[in-house]
Each structure stands twice: as structure tokens, then as C-alpha cells.
Amino acid sequence: MITSIKPNPWAMLRHAVLLCGALVVLTPFIWMISTASKPPSEIYSSDVHLIPHHFALWENLREAFAKADLGLFLLNGLIVTVSIFVLQLLIALPAAYALAKLRFVGRKTLFALVLFGILIPPQATAIPVFLLLHQIGALDSYAALVLPFTISVFGIFLMRQFFMTVPDDLIDAARMDGISEFGIVWRVMLPTALPAVTAFGIFSVVAHWNDYFWPLIVLNSQQFYTPPLAVAHFRNAEAGTNYGPLMAAALVIITPLVIAFLLAQRRFIEGITFTGLK
Amino acid sequence: MSDVASTLGPIPLARPASTALARRRPRLRNAAAYGLVGPAFVLMLLMLLGPLAGVIALSFTDYQLGAPSFAWIGLVNYQEMVADKVFWISLTNTLTYVVIVVPGAVGLGLGVALLIQSGAGLRGFYRTVYFLPVMATLIAMAIVWEFMLHPQFGLVNGLLRSVGLPAHSWLQDRDTALLSLCVIGIWQALGFNMVLFLAGLVSIPKSLYDAAEIDGAGSAWSRFRLVTWPLLGPVTVFVVVITGIRSFQVFDTVHVLTKGGPSKSTDVLIHTMYMEGFEFFRSGYAAALTVVFLVFVLALTLVKARLAARQVHTS
């Protein structure tokens, strides 16, 4: 009885260390919110305090939205990430089905190429892909942001592995019902693969929402800016003089994904780690 | 769906019929297969394999974006690179970054995972908190870090001053700029590694700990040394290589916070490649830099494959 009431020293130590670490990890987020809520007089003072004396979050947000078209940039982020994911699925699912369930000449070679493709880091192909887009006059557009990522060899690999586990009888039954091979992909395989598709979708959306390298290379016009490019541009334009609205803008940019993550943590962690193993 | 499969399975009439049907139309199916893989294959050639061959070919030319013509110049780009001090600084900085971030992010990720797994309380909460930086847009958070490291109004210097230590211009001093970027890199990567280690820890059967305890491994340390660490081996190799590859790709924080400065002290391979290829449009030379980057990343991947194969043999 007494031992159950007595606090366990190991458990206390565990919490103490983990809480300290958590505080360090959270500090940038806390400081971002704190700074976004302070008026300039409190930001540019050597007196460090967390809670603003005068709460100025709304003013800073208003200024951020007035100086940068944040609504448009968030919309761009949505358009680009959703387009990429939908096209990735349209292209990867049929290929994954054929690789997993159909026999055709060149299947092994194709699968070997897919495996090889997974090893190629995106930065390695940047120059030729840029030159290609330049050649066809597609730079500085949504197409430039989306087109290079429509092929996801990792997506093909992941779905293929998943489809391998689907019983052949299910497919044969669908064929007997007169469903075409193309129909089987969408009406039989896709519904069975929803967990894998969700995981891949989370991975894809997070990666492309946060991507900075590629939009930086192919874009000139602000009208196509994605959120990371927009916040970097905001920072350069204000040249470090206007931290309140800048932190408010950063807060706006990270909020959609962070909220989605907090609502569906397990799925996000699963999706990013399980698919992030490329 | 497994219901459908199990009900179909035992029906003797359904199977021969379906296989007969399947046999009757192999050629049709073959044609359908090409239709299904066609778009993926074409795009793979166009956006991945073609460009990969292209970047290697480009590295042997003097091509500059917008130039009317180009010539094959053999190894001249590579010779220029080897003779260029900036390349060596950039390579050294990249390796330094990797050598600091990999042990930092792997060690802390493992430590946090072990601590979380060692008790029952607040597991979900800790996992969420430590994973948050992985989700948050790095560019936005890099700008927050920049303000935290601000020489005059930053939180870090404010805290240092409050305990009587001197303030420092972290990102503006060539001795601390790269180190500051490493700290941001570790902060961002450790949650990802933690989750991988947690998955590895969960898969260790509890019976092994019980067996170790019976064999006299009483202390937490000996249990870790005898059971956890050997069984986490494959996961650890994997995490080290993944973190290594990702660290080699470091670009975002460098580009937005330091632009490779002060005096090249934070210039890294991909940043040098970006400047040469997309600011000065020296495509040929930038391609040669890309090839060097590619060699390092592929070497790491091969190390992983080799070690993974050996793990399978020994275990």
C-alpha cells in the first residue's frame, strides 16, 4: 500500500528529463506565438518576456495579410499539393497493379528501374528538369511546380508491395464480372489499398507543402508562390525589421499542417515514417 | 475484401472457370499491362532517368543556360572544381554538418525513444511534441530560429545575458554560424528518428528481457546492452544512413538564413550547386557538383544495403 503511494523516483526522473526536452523542442513554437502577439515596442527590447503586456496578435496578423497575399499563397499550396497527389495516384496505381498482378515482357526490368529510381535524390535531377521546362516554356507556372513530381517511383513501389498481398481470386472474380483491367485498378485495388494510399497521401502533401528548393528554382512571379517561398520572400523584403508580422506570417503558414497533424497524429506519424523510409 | 476471397476460394466451379478465362486472354492482358505502366514509364524516363543521365552528360560540357551552343570539354569542369577553394570549403562544411547532425539527431532520437518507452505515462503527448518539428514547414521555423538567435533582441542572447553570460552573434560569426545551422538540423530531425526507434523498440519481444533477467541481467543498463542495443542494430543503421542522406541535402536553412556566409563558412554542396546552376546559370559546372553530391548519397545508400545484408547473415 505504502509503495504504491510513494512516488516512483525513476518515473519522476523520466518525466523531468522528457519535459525539459519537450520544452526545448517547443521553444521555437512558443516564441513564434509570443513574438507574433507582441507590439514592436516589446519585440525590440532587451527585456525578455513571454507574455506580451499588450496583446497585438490581431494587428500583426492584419499587417501580415496586408503586406503579403497570404490567402493566395495558402491557396497555391493547396492547389499544388492536391494536384501533385492526385496525378501521382493516377499514374502510380495502374503501374503498381500491373507490376504486382500482371505478367508482361519487361516487368522485371521495369521494377528494377523503379527500385533504382528510389535511390535518386530530387536535387540530382534539378538541372536537366529545369532545362527541360525551360525548353518547353513551362517555367514559372503551376505546371512547373507539379509536373516533375507527377511520377513517384516510391509511390509505385509502395502500392506494388501492398497489391502483392491482395488475393488473386479477388481479381479473377472481378474479371469474371466483366470488369476491364483498368477498371480493376480503381474499383477493386484502390478500395483495398486505402490505408496505404492515405499514408502515401500524407507523406506527399507534407513533403510538397514544405518544399522550398524546387519552387525557388522554377518560380519568378509572386502569383504562383507556395507558402515556404512566400514566407522567405516576406522575410527578405522586411529585411529583419518587422518581426511581429513576420512571425504572424510564419504562424499562418505552419498552422494548416500542424492542426491536421494534431487531429490525426497516429496517421501522420505512420504516413511520414512508413513512407519516409525512402 | 478478404470475405469475398474466402467465400470464392472453396467454390470448386469458380476457380477453373476463372483460370480458363484468364488463360484465354493473356495477350489482351499483356496489352492492357503496357497501357497501365505506359504513363509511369514515360514520365520516369522524362523526369527521373533521362535527367539523371542528362546531369552526368552535362557535367562533361561547358553548357550555360541561354548559350546558343555548347562543347564537350571532358573533365575540365571536374578539374576546375578540384582547383576551386570554394568547392573544398563547401565539401568540408557539408561533411562537418553531417558529422555533427547525424550523431546528434540519432543519439537524441534514441535517448528520447528509450525514455518514452521506459514508462507508461504521457507517451502519446511526448511523441506528439517531439514529432512537431518534423511537420512544421522548415522555412518558417528557420525564420523563427533566426529571430531567436538575433544578436540584440533574440531569446538565446536574452537568456544568456540574464545569467551573466556574454551575448553572441550566432549566425553572423563564422565560428558559430555552421554550428547554429546544425542545432536547427538536429532539432528538426530528432523527432523523425525517435519514431523510427520507437517502432524498433516495440518490436522487441518482452520474453527476451525476461530471459535476460533470469540470466542475471538485473540492471537497466545490462538489459539495454544485452537485448535492446543488439536488436536495435538494423534500425540504428537505417536511421544513421537516412539522417546522413538528409543531412547531405541540407539547403533550406542555409539559403534563407546565411546564403552560405559569413565568408563561405556555411556554404554546402547543394547551396554551391544552386548558386552555380540557378544564379550564375553555369549548368555544366553545377552538373559536375551534382555528380559529386550524387556519389556521396549513393555511397551512403550502398553502405546501408551492405550492412543490412550482413545483419541478416549474422542474426
Out of B133, B153, B251, closest to residue A44 by CB: B153
CATH 1.10.3720.10 domain range(s) in chain A:
67-275
Cα–Cα distance between A135 and B285 in angstroms, integer? 20
Residue B184 grid cell: 536547427
Residue of B43, B115, B255 to mutate, testing the A interface (most A Cβ within 10 Å of its Cβ): B43
Q: Minimal Cα distance from B19: which residue of A?
A: A172
* Chain B hits for A237, Cβ within 8 Å: none
| Chain A contact for B158 (CB, 8 A cutoff) | yes
Of B56, B271, B290, B245, nearest to A216 by C-alpha is B271
Cα–Cα distance between B273 and B282 in angstroms, integer? 9
Contact assessment for residue B58 and residue B287, using Cβ atoms and an 8 Å cutoff: yes
Q: Is B175 within a domain? A: yes
Q: Is B70 within a domain? A: no
Domain match, B136 and B28 both: no
Percent of chain A with pLDDT strictly greater than 90: 43
Q: Is B182 within a domain? A: yes
Domain carrying residue B128 = 76-314
* DSSP H helices in A120-152: 126-135, 142-146
Q: Check residue A81 and give its pLDDT.
A: 95
Domain match, B30 and B160 both: no
| Chain A contact for B256 (CB, 8 A cutoff) | yes
Comparison of pLDDT for A260 and A44, the residue scoring more: A260
Cα–Cα distance between A64 and A44 in angstroms, integer? 18
Percent of chain A with pLDDT strictly greater than 70: 95
Cβ contact, residue pair B290, A127, below 8 Å: yes
CATH number of the domain to which B308 belongs: 1.10.3720.10
> For A138-179, what is each residue's pLDDT tens digit?
899 999 999 999 999 989 998 998 898 888 888 888 888 888
Cβ contact, residue pair B50, A231, below 8 Å: no
Domain match, B83 and B200 both: yes
| Chain A contact for B54 (CB, 8 A cutoff) | yes
> For A179-190, what is each residue's pLDDT tens digit?
888 888 898 899
Query: B61 forms bridges with which residues in the sheet?
Result: B72
Cα–Cα distance between A127 and B189 in angstroms, integer? 27
Domain match, B290 and B218 both: yes
Contact assessment for residue A50 and residue A33, using Cβ atoms and an 8 Å cutoff: no
Domain match, B38 and B80 both: no
Local confidence band at A26 (pLDDT 50, 70, 90 cut-offs): very high
Domain match, B21 and B141 both: no
Cβ contact, residue pair B30, A269, below 8 Å: no
Residue B168 grid cell: 553572441
Q: Minimal Cα distance from B235: which residue of A?
A: A277
Q: Is B90 within a domain? A: yes
What is A67-275's CATH topology?
Answer: MetI-like fold (1.10.3720)
* DSSP H helices in chain B: 2-8, 14-24, 26-44, 50-58, 76-83, 85-117, 123-135, 138-148, 155-162, 177-202, 206-214, 220-223, 229-248, 252-253, 269-274, 283-314
Q: Check residue A105 and give its pLDDT.
A: 86
* ipTM for this prediction: 0.89
Nearest-Cα distance to chain B for A39, in Å, is 14
Cα–Cα distance between B199 and B201 in angstroms, integer? 6
- Mean predicted confidence (pLDDT) in A4-19: 80
Instruction: Give the 3-state secondary structure of residue B61.
Output: strand
Cβ contact, residue pair A232, B256, below 8 Å: yes
Count of CA atoms in the C-beta half-sphere (13 A) of B8: 19
- Which whole-number Å values give the CA distances from A195 to A149, A235, A268, in the listed order? 22, 39, 12
Cα–Cα distance between B289 and B293 in angstroms, integer? 6
Domain match, B106 and B220 both: yes
Q: Check residue A275 and give its pLDDT.
A: 56
Cα–Cα distance between A265 and B293 in angstroms, integer? 34
Give yes or no for residue A7 having a pLDDT over 70: no
* Chain A hits for B126, Cβ within 8 Å: 18, 22
Q: Minimal Cα distance from A192: which residue of B?
A: B1
Nearest-Cα distance to chain A for B74, in Å, is 18
* Chain A hits for B283, Cβ within 8 Å: 127, 131
Cα–Cα distance between B33 and A175 in angstroms, integer? 14
Domain match, B174 and B259 both: yes
Which residue carries 547532425 as its cell?
B101
Compute the C-alpha angle A147/A150/A153, nearest 5°: 135
Domain match, B82 and B52 both: no
Local confidence band at A276 (pLDDT 50, 70, 90 cut-offs): low
Give yes or no for residue A5 having a pLDDT over 80: no
Cα–Cα distance between B259 and A49 in angstroms, integer? 31
Q: Check residue A239 and give its pLDDT.
A: 64
Instruction: Give the 3-state secondary structure of residue A111.
Output: helix
Give yes or no for residue A91 having a pLDDT over 70: yes
Nearest-Cα distance to chain A for B18, in Å, is 6
Q: Check residue B64 and give its pLDDT.
A: 87
> For B217-255, what is each residue's pLDDT tens digit?
778 788 888 888 888 888 888 899 889 999 999 999 999
> Domain tally for chain B?
2
Buried (b) or exposed (e) across A205-232, using 16+ Cβ within 10 A?
Answer: bbbbbbbbbbbbbbbeeeebbbbbbbbb
Q: Check residue A2 and give its pLDDT.
A: 45
Count of CA atoms in the C-beta half-sphere (13 A) of B118: 21
Contact assessment for residue A152 and residue A88, using Cβ atoms and an 8 Å cutoff: yes
Q: Check residue A21 and give its pLDDT.
A: 94
pLDDT in tens, chain B (315 residues): 333 333 333 333 344 444 444 444 556 667 888 889 889 999 999 999 999 999 999 999 988 887 778 888 888 899 999 999 999 999 999 999 999 999 999 999 999 999 998 888 888 899 999 999 998 999 999 999 999 998 888 889 888 888 888 888 888 888 899 999 999 999 999 999 999 899 888 888 888 888 888 887 778 788 888 888 888 888 888 899 889 999 999 999 999 999 887 888 999 999 999 999 999 989 999 999 999 999 999 998 888 777 766 655 444
Which residue carries 538565446 as its cell?
B156
Nearest-Cα distance to chain B for A215, in Å, is 12
Cβ contact, residue pair A46, B30, below 8 Å: no
Q: Minimal Cα distance from A260: which residue of B?
A: B135
Local confidence band at A254 (pLDDT 50, 70, 90 cut-offs): very high
Q: Check residue A56 and give its pLDDT.
A: 83
Cα–Cα distance between B74 and B59 in angstroms, integer? 8
Contact assessment for residue A217 and residue B278, using Cβ atoms and an 8 Å cutoff: yes
Cβ contact, residue pair A121, B249, below 8 Å: yes
Residue A165 grid cell: 498481398
Sign of the Cα pseudo-torsion (B181, A215, A28, A198, in order): negative
Q: Minimal Cα distance from B249: which residue of A?
A: A123
Give yes or no for residue A240 having a pLDDT over 90: no
Nearest-Cα distance to chain B for A168, in Å, is 8
What helix, strand, coil percent values describe chain A, rounded to 5?
Answer: 80, 0, 20
Out of B124, B144, B290, closest to residue A28 by CB: B144
Nearest-Cα distance to chain B for A146, in Å, is 12
* Chain B hits for A169, Cβ within 8 Å: 5, 8-9, 14-15, 18
Q: Is B266 within a domain? A: yes
Percent of chain B with pLDDT strictly greater than 70: 88
Q: Is B151 within a domain? A: yes
Domain match, B218 and B96 both: yes
Local confidence band at A227 (pLDDT 50, 70, 90 cut-offs): very high
| Chain A contact for B12 (CB, 8 A cutoff) | no
Amino acid letter, residue A224: F
Domain match, B53 and B83 both: no
Q: Is B67 within a domain? A: no
Query: For A68, phi and psi rounded to 5 degrees?
Result: -125, 145
Of B219, B253, B236, nearest to B304 by C-alpha is B236
Count of CA atoms in the C-beta half-sphere (13 A) of B172: 8
Nearest-Cα distance to chain B for A231, in Å, is 6
> For A109-141, what is each residue's pLDDT tens digit?
999 999 899 888 999 999 999 999 998 998 999
Q: What global pTM score does this model have? A: 0.87
Domain match, B162 and B194 both: yes
